[in-house]
Structure formats: C-alpha cells, structure tokens
Amino acid sequence: MIVTVVGTGLIGGSMALKLREQGIAEKVIGVDKDEQHLKEAKSMGIIDEFADLNDAVMVSGLVIIAVPVNIASEMLANVLDILEPGTIVMDVGSTKEGICARVFNHINRKNYVATHPIAGTENTGPSAAFPDLFTGKVNIICDKERSSKEALDMVKKVYTALSMRIIFMDSREHDLHIAYVSHLSHISSFTLGLTVLEIEKNEKNIFDMAGSGFASTVRLAKSSPDMWAPIFDQNATNISDALGVYIEKLKLFKSVIDNHDMKKAHELIEQANDIRRILKS
Amino acid sequence: MIVTVVGTGLIGGSMALKLREQGIAEKVIGVDKDEQHLKEAKSMGIIDEFADLNDAVMVSGLVIIAVPVNIASEMLANVLDILEPGTIVMDVGSTKEGICARVFNHINRKNYVATHPIAGTENTGPSAAFPDLFTGKVNIICDKERSSKEALDMVKKVYTALSMRIIFMDSREHDLHIAYVSHLSHISSFTLGLTVLEIEKNEKNIFDMAGSGFASTVRLAKSSPDMWAPIFDQNATNISDALGVYIEKLKLFKSVIDNHDMKKAHELIEQANDIRRILKS
C-alpha cells in the first residue's frame, strides 16, 4: 500500500518508519510545507518521495494527517473532498472534538478515522523520529461509529503494527479527560520553566542546582509552540477548567505552607502519593 | 574509618554503599528510629551493625545525618555536644539556613559541614538505596568558612568518592535558589497529582490516557511526605514567594487561553523553551 504522511515530524516520521518496517507501507510519500523537512525525511529514509497534497492523496491507500491541530481540520475536509472511494484518512492530533465536528456531515466522513496515539517526546522534526516511539503505548480512536468498517479495520491494523493498545472514546469525552492528563501537565511544565527563567536571573544557579527532579518536571517545557499553542486553543474550555482547579489547589498548598501547617502538608502529599498506585496498576 | 549513618534510607543508604565501595568507610554503623529499616539495611549489606546515636558517634570518624530536616537541626546540636575532637559531622538536608543558624555559635561548629547533595529519586527506604545515586551530580557545601580545614577536607574527600562536583554557597542563598529549582517543582507535581486525582474520578482514564509526559511531570508527586513536609516548613518564605510567582504566571496562561490568544500562547511557550538551552549547557 502507498501511505502518504502529511507532516514529516516526530509523529508522522515515526509512523512512516514503523509502517515501512512492518510491511504495511510499501511506499511512503511525504507532504510538508517545510521543504527542508522533506529533504531531511527523504535522506533519512522516512519517505521515498515528496509531492503536493492533492497528487499524493490521489495515489494513496492511506493518508495520515500529522500536522498541528489548527491546520488539521481544514486539511482533513479538503482531503475528504478529493478522496478516491477506497482511500482511508486518519489524523493523529491531541484534540478530537473540533475536527470530528468539522467533518461530521461530510459525504466521505466514513473514510476518516479520528485517532490520538498517546506518544511523543519533547523533540520535533524528522530527526526526532524513531520507529518504536509508539511501542506499548495507547491509541485512542474516537467516534468509531462514524467510520466505515473498512476504515476502522485498516486503522486498527496500522496501530497494531505500531504495537499500540487501542481504546475507544467519544470525541467530547476524549477532549475533557485529555485536558487533565496531558494538556494540564504541559501548562504546569511550561509555566514552571517560565517562572524559574524569570526569577533565577543567574542561569548558572539553574544549571548547578537543578536535579533530576526539576529536569523531569520541566521536560515538557521544551515542547513545540507550533504544536501546543493550537492544542490549547482548540481545547480551551476544558483546559481552562482544569487550570482553574490546579490554581485553587496551589493556593491551598501555599496557604498551608504560609501557616506552617505541617500536618496538613503531610496529608496533601500523602493524597498526591496515590498517583503511584494508579500509574503502576 | 568508621562511618555512622543516621537515617538508613535512600540518601544515607546510598552513601554508605558507595563509601564502603570506595574504601572510605571500613565499617558502617546505622542509626535509625525505624528498627525494620536497620534490619533491612544490615541484611542488604548497607550497614555492618546498628547502635544508639550516642554510642555510634563516640566511635566514629564521620557522622552523616540523613534524616528529615525537621529532626536534623536538633540532632546535629546533640551530636556536636558529645563529639570527640577529631570526629566530623555532616548533614545532607535540602534546607540549609535553619540548620546552620541552629548551631552557628556552637563550640564545635567547626567540626560540622553543611552539605546538600542534589540527588534523589521518588523512592524511599533502604531498598531504594544504590551506590551510584550521586555519580555525576552536584553537591553544595554551605557556609564553608564556619567549618575547619580538616572537616572540609574530609567532606570534600567524601563527595569526591561519591563522584560529585562540589560547589560552595551561602546557606541563605542556597535556600532561596533551591526553592525555585527544586522545592517549587515538587509542589507543582504534588498539586498536579492532587488535581488529576480529584477531577478524574475514573482511574482507568488516568491509566489509559496518561502518556510519558504526564508520568514525567507527576513523578515527583510520589515523593515522601515525611521528607517533604518538613522541607516546605523550613523553607516556607522562599517557597511561598516562588509559588506566588508560579500562580500569577498560571493565571496569565489561563487568561491567554480563555481569550484564544494563540500568538501570546506561542510566545509564552517559546520563552519556556529556553529552559532547553540552560539544562543542556
């Protein structure tokens, strides 16, 4: 099968590498507005050739849209407009409600599968791609009842080839829950980075005094603005609610510390420790 | 040399293992209020024997105080009271201003070196200890002018044996800067854990949807309340200031998201990305 990957960065590039390795993609066509990325992806063996979106879609069995979520919805509608009947298209964005709403009534909606592979690193571009990025992780398929059996079967085959566990959710539910377990942690990390950078004028102190704990907590602050600003925009309501709760709890923690209430601090930390049980289970 | 380790958990236990491996400790005596820990530490070869604090101090060349910071100050004063002239004592706590103030005028102050090895994991107890916990990390020695040359020389030898880089700071400065690069990130992580646990009633969603990003950001939320509640108490003023700035920046981020101001969101993320340069440098 010919697979077109639109967006040859970390996610699209890693998928291309693994789908080729697994024999699903006999040929990979890259589409990217960044010509440098296309050349890089080709020289790294991620893609075989590059083309314009329309030309690529015409000859492909599967089109993977792996671009920032503010671009993905419009692009998906355009791709569905010109699709051959047997071609399947999927996106991989971190927000699902908006894109599913955008094409809800499209005549070719059934050829589309809305997915969100929960995998990534803080790095970007073709050079960040590696075939085992997805191994052992979870992929979420949203609103599966809107996709045809053929489309679902192909996309399941793709994610099985990526060694992912597949779960199913409503797109609205997805955006609500992902706000807490992914989007909020990105904002807490970006903001931690901003705070330390503003207050700690002496960068040598950060470098010297930052342990592995700080590095872990601030890791996501290295994530791409091109990818994340649109995610925050699309999931604004849910994220704002999550941030509201987070800020309230920080204020509580601050007042506990201001009052030197060690007993309550101990309690709060013990409650937070419960995350250990869930992440392990 | 006989080394006494008071507190046979992650830090004390790891030091004992490495100092024995490096030939600095010919014999290690463990002191711990938790008898189970002592037995465990002995069976793991972390300590050779255990004893009461006073008996252990009498026969030791070096005493390492590795207990929660609310206990350490008083314990240090007691140890200095009974110290043989040639015995050196050091602590390893994450706050330094209070403990240095507590013994500032002690007649044996010069036998004490205030240190903070910036190393750790979210795990606790003797079973969490491993000899290379400190390798390649930074140790901070505070108020070195208050310690004798002999004491400093021995403690430098200890941290060199632990393969750590040593830097020197004023204890007040230490507490100020560490509030930003360590204590704040622990609170951001504890609070993220609390928020997600409260809002996401369905634990299966957390388990399914939490990617490596969330796991990384929330890792410190697994840290010990016995260790951290006292740290927050002792460094309350600095941490409260840091939290104040962090909360203000989160509010800014929230208003940017509420206003769908993608340009500003992009800017904030780009600024936060600067942490990449510093942590790499």
B69, B7 Cβ separation under 8 angstroms: no
Interatomic CA distance for residues B272 and B163, integer angstroms:
31
Q: pLDDT tens digit string along A257-270?
A: 999 999 999 999 99
Question: Average of pLDDT values for A219-247?
Answer: 96
Find the residue in B nearest to A166 (Cα).
Answer: B208
Contact A206 B272 (CB under 8 A): no
Find the residue in B nearest to A175 (Cα).
Answer: B209
Task: Tell me the average pLDDT of chain B.
Answer: 95
Extended strands (E) in chain A: 2-6, 27-31, 49-50, 62-65, 88-91, 112-117, 138-142, 165-169
pLDDT given for residue B199 in this prediction:
87
Of B208, B253, B254, the CB nearest to A167: B208
Interatomic CA distance for residues A66 and B108, integer angstroms:
66
Contact A192 B213 (CB under 8 A): no
Q: Which residue has the tokens 């909606």?
A: A109
- A226 φ, ψ to 5°? -65, -35
Under the banding of pLDDT at 50, 70 and 90, the label for residue A205 is confident
Q: SS3 for A21-65, per residue?
A: HCCCCCEEEEECCCHHHHHHHHHCCCCCEECCHHHHHHHCCEEEE
pLDDT given for residue A212 in this prediction:
82
Is the pLDDT score of B63 beyond 90? yes
Structure tokens, A91: 């996106």
Contact B265 A137 (CB under 8 A): no
Contact A220 B216 (CB under 8 A): yes
Is the pLDDT score of B278 beyond 90? no
Find the residue in B nearest to A261 (Cα).
Answer: B233
- B5 φ, ψ to 5°? -110, 115
Of A193, A221, A246, the CB nearest to B195: A246
A270 contacts on B by Cβ (under 8 Å):
225
Interatomic CA distance for residues B47 and B50, integer angstroms:
7
**What is the distance of C-alpha B188 from the center of its chain?**
17
DSSP structure class, residue B227? H
Q: pLDDT tens digit string along B229-258?
A: 999 999 999 999 999 999 999 999 999 999
Q: pLDDT tens digit string along B181-239?
A: 999 999 999 999 999 998 887 888 888 888 888 888 899 999 999 999 999 999 999 99
pLDDT given for residue B203 in this prediction:
80
Contact A251 B247 (CB under 8 A): yes
Interatomic CA distance for residues B242 and B250, integer angstroms:
12
B246, B184 Cβ separation under 8 angstroms: yes
A236 contacts on B by Cβ (under 8 Å):
257-258, 260
- Written as one letter, the residue type at B151 is A
Residue B43 CB-half CA count within 13 A: 8
CB-neighbour burial class of residue B83 (10 A; exposed 0-12, middle 13-18, buried 19+): buried
Using alpha carbons, select from A60, A95, A101 the residue that is nearest to residue A79: A60
- Written as one letter, the residue type at B39 is K
Question: Average of pLDDT values for B47-70?
Answer: 97
Q: pLDDT tens digit string along B9-42?
A: 999 999 999 999 999 999 999 999 999 999 999 9
Interatomic CA distance for residues A152 and A111, integer angstroms:
9
B187, B239 Cβ separation under 8 angstroms: yes
Structure tokens, A144: 């599966």
A224 contacts on B by Cβ (under 8 Å):
269
Interatomic CA distance for residues A15 and A48, integer angstroms:
14
Please tell me chain B's helix, strand, coil percentages from 3-state DSSP, rounded to the nearest 5: 60, 15, 25
Using alpha carbons, select from A188, B140, A242 the residue that is nearest to residue A196: A188
Under the banding of pLDDT at 50, 70 and 90, the label for residue B277 is confident
Contact B209 A270 (CB under 8 A): no
Of B213, B222, B273, the CB nearest to A182: B213
- Residue of A69, A133, A170, A194 to mutate when probing chain B, most B C-beta within 10 A: A194
Task: Tell me the average pLDDT of chain A.
Answer: 95
| DSSP symbols for B19-33 | HHHTTS-SEEEEE-S
pLDDT given for residue B281 in this prediction:
52
**What is the distance of C-alpha A132 from the center of its chain?**
15
Contact B242 A199 (CB under 8 A): yes
Of B178, B187, B211, the CB nearest to A118: B211
Of B200, B221, B233, the CB nearest to A273: B221
Is the pLDDT score of A8 beyond 80? yes
| DSSP symbols for B30-92 | EE-S-HHHHHHHHHTTS-SEE--HHHHHHH-SEEEE-S-HHHHHHHHHHHHHH--TT-EEEE-
- Written as one letter, the residue type at A244 is G
CB atoms under 10 Å from CB of B20, counted, come to: 19
Structure tokens, A226: 């091109």
Helices (runs of H) and strands (runs of E) counted in chain B: 14, 8
Structure tokens, A281: 């289970």
Segment (H or E) for A130: none
- Residue of A94, A226, A254 to mutate when probing chain B, most B C-beta within 10 A: A254
Q: pLDDT tens digit string along B166-181?
A: 999 999 999 999 999 9
pTM of the model: 0.92
Report helix angle B184-199 to B236-258, nearest 10. 50
Question: Average of pLDDT values for A59-66?
Answer: 98
Using alpha carbons, select from B239, B200, B196 the residue that is nearest to residue B221: B196
Q: Which residue has the tokens 């024999």?
A: A23
Report helix angle B225-234 to B69-82, nearest 10. 80
Q: Which residue has the tokens 């690193």?
A: A121
B251 contacts on A by Cβ (under 8 Å):
247
Question: Average of pLDDT values for B54-83?
Answer: 97
Q: Which of A97-111, A205-219, B108-122 has the weakest average pLDDT?
A: A205-219
**What is the distance of C-alpha A94 from the center of its chain?**
4
Print burial letters for B186-210: b (CB count within 10 Å at least 16), e (below 16). bbbbbbbbbbbbebbeeeebbebbb
Contact A272 B191 (CB under 8 A): yes
Interatomic CA distance for residues B256 and B268, integer angstroms:
10
pLDDT given for residue B1 in this prediction:
96
B224 contacts on A by Cβ (under 8 Å):
269
CB-neighbour burial class of residue B44 (10 A; exposed 0-12, middle 13-18, buried 19+): middle
Is the pLDDT score of A281 beyond 80? no
CB atoms under 10 Å from CB of A276, counted, come to: 17
